[in-house]
Amino acid sequence: MSSYSQKKLEDLCQRLQIEAEFLTVCVEESVIEIEEIGDQLDLGSGSILHLRRLERICHTLNVEPPVAILLNQLMKRIAELEKAQPN
């Protein structure tokens, strides 16, 4: 994340209406990707939905982003197992 200027990161956070720390954790955990498009930063394909899902988990369950990331991974795995289970 250090390759991006602080100003560009602040602009992205303001546009997405999220806290910089939350964005940083999500990027460091490789949950979302940031792309540089022209002179501004944006999120990679599908990242905004993933970011909002994690944000909801954090707020609903009152947990920190790393916990929300783990919970999201577990929920996805449970859904996969349920789908694979014969009826």
18 contacts 11 by C-beta, under 8 angstroms:
no
Place of tokens 């910089």: 20
Q: 31-78, pLDDT tens digit by residue?
A: 888 988 888 899 887 889 999 999 999 999 999 999 999 999 999 999
57 contacts 68 by C-beta, under 8 angstroms:
yes
Tally the domains of the chain: 1
Let me know if residue 51 belongs to a domain: yes
> In this predicted structure, what is the pLDDT of residue 31?
86
CATH assignment of the domain containing 46: 1.10.1660.10
The pTM of the full predicted model, rounded to 2 decimals, is 0.79
pLDDT at 87 over 70: no
Let me know if residue 33 belongs to a domain: yes
Q: How far is CA 14 from the centre of its chain?
A: 15
> In this predicted structure, what is the pLDDT of residue 56?
95
pLDDT band at 4 (very low <50, low <70, confident <90, very high): confident
Other Cβ atoms less than 10 A from the Cβ of 41: the count is 21
Q: 5-30, pLDDT tens digit by residue?
A: 888 999 999 999 999 999 989 888 88
Distances (CA, A) of 58 to 40, 73, 83: 27, 14, 26
Let me know if residue 1 belongs to a domain: no
| Cβ-based neighbours of 29, under 8 Å, separated by 6 or more | 65, 66, 69
Q: What range does the domain containing 42 cover? A: 6-84
The secondary structure of 3-19 as a DSSP string is: TS-HHHHHHHHHHHT--
